[in-house]
């Protein structure tokens, strides 16, 4: 290995005084790691470090990275750091080089696009970040410098992709990705006692058993939501929620909650006026922090409104729940799903199928947010009534049990303003930790509505998304 690369790093530091690691080059591993450290030194900045050739290529980014593609963040190229530096979090003594507090702000893997050595020479490095907070396509571009300029100035840019956003998406994260500590806590030397930290959020009682047979702990639930987040958030974020919490496990008291508690990161309160004129506070989650914060508080089920908070009065998710009478054969329920699908197809509406995690299936129709609640709700009712008129011995659009003998209730009622339905990828607070799972139409006959467990859901999330074109639909009610 090339020891010279770290000469400057070692020269600047007195390792009898600082706890930073001494610079020794390491053999590179197969995947390339990256780390971002928030460093509150003489100047507040973020150190952006990419593993390459046994060391960490390093840039100091005063404003930190930004998910906004319009932002061009100055990134001052600094000396290579030893690979071991990716584990450094703590305080560098005052008066020493870089004296101040260092927090591990993000970590993960990076994949260069093209030849790295060439890119570094040409001053144009494109890559994909697979961190916990930084994801997607990014670029580092060198600025033309003046002669004799000591440090190279580069720009760190977010490239257009599905992760790009209209805000920096960075300043909301103020805790260590590894220890959950704030800058103040790191500075105070607060020890991190062996807990579980996910997305910088400390998870209390991670070993608490939430489900038995199979045994699933709170830590497992939080990790499930972390892994499901990327798939789940498009259906969950910025939608008013009601949730089911079982902080002591599903065998103990669980409770519904639709009004916010004290504020948490990523959870937003929204006042909503009811039709009778009364205004109450509701809440929604904005990002993965909100999802993890809810899971930390014991939330298992997420139920959402049919509209997003950006257009609260214009719903965009129509859900039909096929709710069979006690003991009905699964083949009849599946026929119900096919019949409903045929009606929607006749209406030229694309629909998607998911398991409910309970007795029935859910058929979901994505719509442009153009119609008002009343129109939306009436449309859903009419679909259920058509089912009932066409096959009166099989289906009912009437919720009353007495009228349901041996029939499937086509539940359209959840399409009203203020009603909610279980979000895709939500765990159900029932025996066996079933998931309301998006599936392909071709799987209707092979997957029972309660057959996808949390473990199976995790396997499926690694596969192709059966709803991958869900948001490419532009259909609307006319």
Whole-angstrom distance, CA of residue 192 vs CA of residue 104 = 13
Which residue number, 48 or 138, has a Cβ lying nearer to Mn ion? 48
Q: How far is the CB of 77 from Mn ion (least distance, A)?
A: 12
If the CB atoms of residues 76 and 155 are measured against Mn ion, the closer one turns out to be 76
Instruction: Specify the residue, 39 or 265, whose C-beta has the smaller distance to Mn ion.
Output: 39
SS3 62: coil
Applying CB under 5 A, the residues found at the interface with Mn ion are: 39, 47
**What distance separates the 2 farthest-apart alpha carbons in the chain?**
87
The smaller minimum CB distance to Mn ion, of residues 47 and 388, is found at 47
**For the residues of 225-293, what is the DSSP string, one character each?**
HHHHHHHHHHHHTTS-EEEEE-TT-TTS--EEE-S--S--TTEEEEEEE-TTS-EEEEEEE-SHHHHHH
Contact 52/34 with Cβ under 8 angstroms? no
Minimum CB distance to Mn ion smaller for 22 or for 161: 22
Rounded CA separation 449/303 (Å)? 17
Residue nearest to Mn ion (CB): 39
| Least CB distance to Mn ion at residue 101 (A) | 11
Give least dist CB 199 to Mn ion, A. 23
Q: CB 24 → Mn ion: shortest distance, Å?
A: 20
Strand partners, 44: 40
Q: What is the DSSP letter of 159?
A: P
Give the residue carrying structure tokens 């987040």.
229
Contact in structure between 414 and 321 (CB atoms under 8 Å): yes
Handedness of CA 118, 120, 126, 131 (dihedral sign): positive
Closest CB to Mn ion among residues 39, 417:
39
Q: Name which of 334, 335, 332, 324 is nearest 358 in CA terms.
A: 324
Q: Which is nearer to Mn ion, 39 or 314 (CB)?
A: 39
């Amino acid at each position: 290995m090339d020891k010279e690369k770290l000469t400057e790093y070692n020269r600047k530091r007195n390792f009898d005084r600082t706890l930073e690691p001494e610079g020794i080059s390491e053999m590179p591993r197969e995947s390339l790691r990256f780390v971002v450290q928030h460093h509150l030194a003489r100047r507040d900045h973020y150190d952006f470090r990419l593993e390459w050739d046994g060391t960490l290529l390093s840039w100091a980014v005063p404003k930190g990275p930004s998910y906004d593609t319009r932002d061009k963040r100055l990134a001052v190229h600094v000396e290579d750091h030893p690979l071991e530096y990716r584990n450094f979090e703590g305080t560098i003594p005052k008066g020493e080089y870089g004296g101040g507090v260092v927090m591990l702000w993000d970590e993960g893997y990076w994949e260069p696009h093209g030849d790295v050595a060439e890119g570094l020479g040409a001053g144009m490095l494109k890559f994909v970040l697979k961190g916990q907070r930084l994801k997607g396509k990014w670029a580092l571009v060198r600025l033309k410098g003046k002669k004799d300029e000591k440090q190279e100035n580069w720009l760190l840019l977010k490239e257009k992709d599905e992760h790009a956003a209209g805000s920096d998406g960075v300043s909301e994260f103020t805790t260590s990705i590894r220890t959950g500590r704030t800058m103040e806590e790191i500075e105070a030397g607060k020890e991190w006692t062996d807990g579980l930290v996910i997305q910088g959020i400390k998870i209390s009682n991670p070993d608490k058993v939430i489900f038995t047979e199979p045994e699933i702990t709170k830590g497992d639930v939080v990790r499930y939501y972390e892994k499901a987040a990327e798939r789940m958030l498009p259906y969950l974020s910025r939608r008013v929620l009601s949730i089911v919490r079982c902080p002591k496990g599903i065998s103990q008291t669980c409770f519904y909650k639709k009004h916010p508690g004290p504020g948490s990161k990523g959870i937003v309160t929204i006042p909503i006026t009811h039709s009778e004129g009364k205004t109450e506070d509701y809440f929604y989650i904005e990002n993965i922090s909100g999802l993890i914060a809810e899971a930390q508080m014991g939330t298992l089920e997420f139920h959402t409104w049919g509209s997003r908070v950006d257009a609260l009065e214009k719903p965009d998710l129509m859900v039909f729940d096929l709710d069979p009478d006690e003991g009905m054969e699964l083949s009849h329920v599946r026929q119900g799903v096919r019949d409903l699908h045929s009606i929607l197809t006749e209406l030229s509406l694309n629909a998607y199928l998911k398991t409910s995690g309970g007795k029935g299936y859910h058929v979901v129709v994505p719509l442009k947010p153009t119609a008002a609640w009343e129109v939306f709700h009436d449309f859903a009712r009419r679909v259920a009534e058509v089912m009932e008129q066409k096959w009166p011995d099989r289906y009912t659009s009437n919720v009353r049990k007495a009228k349901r003998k041996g029939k499937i209730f086509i539940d359209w009622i959840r399409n009203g303003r203020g009603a909610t339905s279980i979000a895709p990828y939500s765990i159900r607070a029932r025996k066996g930790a079933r998931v309301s799972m998006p599936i392909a139409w071709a799987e209707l006959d092979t997957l029972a509505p309660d057959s996808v467990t949390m473990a199976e859901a995790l396997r499926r999330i690694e596969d192709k998304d059966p709803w991958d074109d869900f948001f490419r639909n532009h259909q609307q009610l006319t």
